[in-house]
């Protein structure tokens, strides 16, 4: 993953995945976005793009329709089975039928080539704001990680369509882990992001709550496949929840 200049005031940069087989266009777009403090990852074909989606969390995906190994329409549909990440279609095919097909496959926006880099940046930021509930009425998205669904609006969790009963703090921890699925979070990060009460908010309490979550989520809590420990680092929620 390539990163642009560090944003000011410790802000987390927007994370963008570009799935584009035109190496020159991908490179130019990546450099422009990095120059505006976005963190950019590039994938040259559909299968590589899907692998990145499964491994990392992105704020916006820029997706070409004409891709080798897996076309953009199929990839967008695959993304929608795993994530609600905003998808912007980028393609030279600008006919109305292609735009409709892209939007019906789950894309959030559509920008035909050649496009203005300034307009692309504006659209990326607009989609990220909407996804974060910072534009228009607040939208609370359900979080999907494999067979796990965390619904913040309903304060509900299901695993392979089976309801999982959690305490309020267990739900907060799981939501944080789902929002950062595939990433290792330290105990300190979990404490800060989950924002428990005074009795819950101390370092070793995280281990207790993680253990309880495993009892409810894992077929074999002693050998977890979903909620994993990374020795010396912290915990992560894995994308693949099967052995």
The domain segmentation of the chain, as residue ranges, is 2-131, 143-237
For residues 176 and 190, the answer to whether their CB atoms sit within 8 Å is yes
> Residue 213: what pLDDT?
94
For residues 47 and 70, the answer to whether their CB atoms sit within 8 Å is yes
Three-state DSSP class for 41? strand
For residues 14 and 41, the answer to whether their CB atoms sit within 8 Å is no
pLDDT at 241 over 80: no
What is the CATH code of the structural domain delimited by 143-237?
A: 1.10.10.10
How many alpha carbons lie under 13 Å from residue 143 in its C-beta half-sphere? 21
Please tell me the CATH superfamily of domain 2-131, with its number: Response regulator (3.40.50.2300)
User: pTM of this prediction?
Assistant: 0.54
pLDDT digits (tens, 9 = 90+) for 119-161: 999 999 988 888 776 544 445 678 888 889 999 888 899 999 9
CA distance 29 to 44: 13
Q: Give the range among 60-69, 78-87, 133-142 with minimum mean pLDDT.
A: 133-142
């Amino acid at each position: 993953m390539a990163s642009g200049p560090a944003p000011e005031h410790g802000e987390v940069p927007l994370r963008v995945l570009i799935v584009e087989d035109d190496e020159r266009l991908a490179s130019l777009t990546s450099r422009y976005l990095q120059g505006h403090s976005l963190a950019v990852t590039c994938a040259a074909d559909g299968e590589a793009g899907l692998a990145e989606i499964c491994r990392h969390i992105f704020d916006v995906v820029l997706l070409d329709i004409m891709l080798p190994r897996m076309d953009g329409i199929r990839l967008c549909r695959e993304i929608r089975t795993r994530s609600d990440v905003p998808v912007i279609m980028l393609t030279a095919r600008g006919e109305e039928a292609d735009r409709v097909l892209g939007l019906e496959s789950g894309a959030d926006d559509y920008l035909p080539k050649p496009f203005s880099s300034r307009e692309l940046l504006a659209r990326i930021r607009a989609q990220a704001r909407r996804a974060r509930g910072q534009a228009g009425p607040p939208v609370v998205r359900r979080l999907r990680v494999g067979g796990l669904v965390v619904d913040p609006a309903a304060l509900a969790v299901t695993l392979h369509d089976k309801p999982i009963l959690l305490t309020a703090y267990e739900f907060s921890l799981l939501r944080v882990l789902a929002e950062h699925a595939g990433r290792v979070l330290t105990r300190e990060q979990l404490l800060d992001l989950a924002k428990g009460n005074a009795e819950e908010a101390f370092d070793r309490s995280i281990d207790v709550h993680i253990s309880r979550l495993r009892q409810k989520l894992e077929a074999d809590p002693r050998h977890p496949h979903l909620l994993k420990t990374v020795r010396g680092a912290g915990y992560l929620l894995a994308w693949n929840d099967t052995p």
